[in-house]
Amino acid sequence: MMSRDEDTRADSPSSSYIAPEAASPEKDGEGENPENVHQDGRVPDYLARVAPVTVPPTRIQLSLDVIVDNFSALLESVDPSEALNILELGRIHFIQRRRMRKELQALYAGLWNLALQRSFPDDYTDIFSAWLEKSGAELDPHDREERQARIFQYVDSLRQYGDADFSEVSRHLTGLLEADESHVKRISFALALYIRRIYTYFFDHLL
């Protein structure tokens, strides 16, 4: 799914994305998500650009193949090396890096599914199923089943919280590092911000 070497790609959405200055307003009386707040209570400037709060339900006007191929192209543009750096997995951690790359690919699929669900509530299941079938066509049955199980783990997790809070999925990923609690807590916030940027990138480029 991500064929180019992770250390040679330069065109990732996380490195090229520039957020505008105006932040989305918060409703009075509501608490802010832990991933969105600095220790001094400020919302970070780079969280100003997030997906719109509401999206009118719509039906797709393009073929499934076009949308599926578009997501395949989006995946090629995502550089997982930033996430690996946040997780502090250097080249010497090659086994953990290989495992985490699989987790990140499954996460990206889950984020796309969430974006599809918000924009195309009547069609997102068909779109996602078409992508799963096409992207896994060349895998042997065991690998395909393992891949889909990993993907739906993230699909189900993200569905519980929607796009309001990516802290839980961030804690899941950092928990896979089997590191001490202080280390996990330190990097979990940065990873949640990264996940939000990737989600927004997919949301903005569905078509």
Instruction: Collapse the DSSP code of 198 into the 3-class scheme (helix H, G, I; strand E, B; otherwise coil) and give the result.
Output: helix
Residue 4 lies in a domain: no
Distance in angstroms (rounded) separating the CA atoms of residues 192 and 188: 6
Residue 139 lies in a domain: yes
Residue 102 lies in a domain: yes
Residue 43 lies in a domain: yes
Higher pLDDT, 8 or 100: 100
Distance in angstroms (rounded) separating the CA atoms of residues 149 and 109: 12
Q: Give the domain range for residue 36.
A: 13-204
pLDDT digits (tens, 9 = 90+) for 36-86: 554 554 445 544 444 444 444 455 666 888 999 999 999 999 989 999 999
pLDDT above 90: residue 151 = yes
Residue 5 lies in a domain: no
Question: CB of 136 within 8 A of CB of 72?
Answer: no
Average pLDDT score over the chain: 78
pLDDT of residue 180: 77
Residue 8 lies in a domain: no
DSSP 143: H
Residue 149 lies in a domain: yes
Share of residues in the chain with pLDDT > 90 (%)? 55
> Can you give the length of the chain in residues?
207
The number of folded domains in the chain is 1
